A and B are shown apart, each in its own frame.
Chain A
Amino acid sequence: MGPRRPVDERQLIRRAIDGDPTAERALYDGHVDRVYRLAYRMTGEDDLAQDCTQDTFIRAFDRLPDFRGEAAFSTWLHAIATSVVLNQLRKVKRFRSRETDIEVADRMATSERRANPDLKEKLTEAIDSLPDKYRMVFVMHDVEGYTHEEIGAALGTKTGTSKAQLFRARAKLRDALAAFAGEWAV
């Protein structure tokens, strides 16, 4: 997430603020993959991931004049992206829990009773069940390879908090998997 082309990017940002659409497109091209990947990992759905990504860039371009350049553009952009994704997940969960009817609840119960899911599937379920902020830290660090400094900057927390949350997320995953596979027991 670090600034690989700091000079070029600063120029692009200035041009984008001045209303140059090619500069906006260049900024988009430089960062869209990481934003979309993160959104997809967190939402697990293409439509939601696309919505989050679009919303992130629309907000970023609208607020570009507020970007003071004290941190890398990507850090600032990821602060917007993580907020958009977490907000979207909150809204979707609130909606789904409100609208879940008996039939859906039955379906979920049946799904949970499904026999012998493989270990990978069990891990996916365990990650899904993590609180969103822990899941965000786990996905960013262990899945997408962000550093704790990058995660802390994006989430507005200290590096130590990111490390602690990752530690707790892994512990929760180990616990969840321990019951499934004996050799994974802590």
Chain B
Amino acid sequence: MNEEQMEQALREMAAGYHAPPETPREEMWARIEVERRGEATRRRKAAVIHFPVWRVAAAAAAVLVAGVAIGRFSAPGGEHVEMVVGGTPDVELASESQVAYRVVASEHLSNVETFLTVFRAEAGTGRLTEADYLPPARRLLFQTRILQDSPIARDLALKTLLDDVELILAQIAQFSDDRPGDLEFIDQGIEQRGVLLKLRSAIPAGPPQVSAQGAL
């Protein structure tokens, strides 16, 4: 077999590599519409979550978690600060603790998004065991509750998203291999609440990977 024949054979065999099924275009469009309508509504009703996280080194996030925890326990009388809807983001961001909180929240939401994506992809295959998903689900649930309880949490949209995330993670943390039917329930919860799409909207894009006409 010469080089050309080999290349041809390689291409023919490669055509079967991860052969895609028919495009589920209506299913995906329905979710895109829901997300875009929801985003428009959120923009009208409340301040948009807009994390300046790309300006902060990712390594700082771990340090700032401690800052959030300290803020939580050092707030006067441990009182919850009233949430501000439709506030002025510039003024809020002037507060270092607010910036810290948003950086940590953004990093956390990114981790949750990755976990839920992988969980949904693999849970139905039967390849996951409790040891695979329980520890990360519990860890993320704990971190979610820390963020929910923080007295410097002021953003209503973020609060709502954390509430959704907490509910889903709590379900996963209680999910058992013995009750496979619960999986469908969890999946429906993620779907109906549009949790993954909300998470992706809330997570800022990372540094640009390509430079085509400001696409990213």
Contact = CB atoms under 8 A, between A and B. Distances in A.
Interface string A119-144: 11001100100000000001100110
23 contacts: A28-B32, A32-B25, A40-B21, A41-B18, A43-B18, A44-B18, A48-B121, A51-B117, A58-B36, A59-B205, A66-B213, A68-B213, A70-B213, A71-B212, A82-B209, A83-B216, A91-B114, A104-B132, A120-B13, A142-B14, A153-B212, A156-B211, A184-B6
B32 A54 contact: yes
A58 B35 contact: yes
Interface string B23-47: 1110111011101100100000000
Interface centre among A42, A63, A70 (most CB of B within 10 A): A63
B117 A92 contact: yes
B136 interface: yes
Given A57-B28, A79-B210, A156-B212, 16 more contacts: A32-B29, A36-B23, A37-B23, A40-B20, A50-B28, A54-B28, A59-B205, A66-B215, A71-B213, A79-B216, A83-B215, A86-B209, A91-B114, A91-B117, A123-B13, A174-B10
A13 interface: no
Contacts of A28: 25, 29, 32
Nearest to A50: B28
Contacts of B27: 50
Interface string A68-105: 10110001100110110011100110111001010110
Interface stretch (B53-61, B64-72, B170-178, B196-204): B196-204
Given A36-B20, A40-B18, A76-B215, A87 B196 contact: no
Main secondary structure of the interface of A (DSSP, over half): helix
B156 to A, nearest CB: 21
Main secondary structure of the interface of B (DSSP, over half): helix
Given A36-B20, A142-B14, A61 B36 contact: yes
A184 B1 contact: yes
Contacts of A183: 1
B91 interface: no
Interface centre among A79, A88, A101, A155 (most CB of B within 10 A): A79
A47 B28 contact: no
A46 interface: yes
A184 B205 CA distance: 43
A79 B216 CA distance: 8
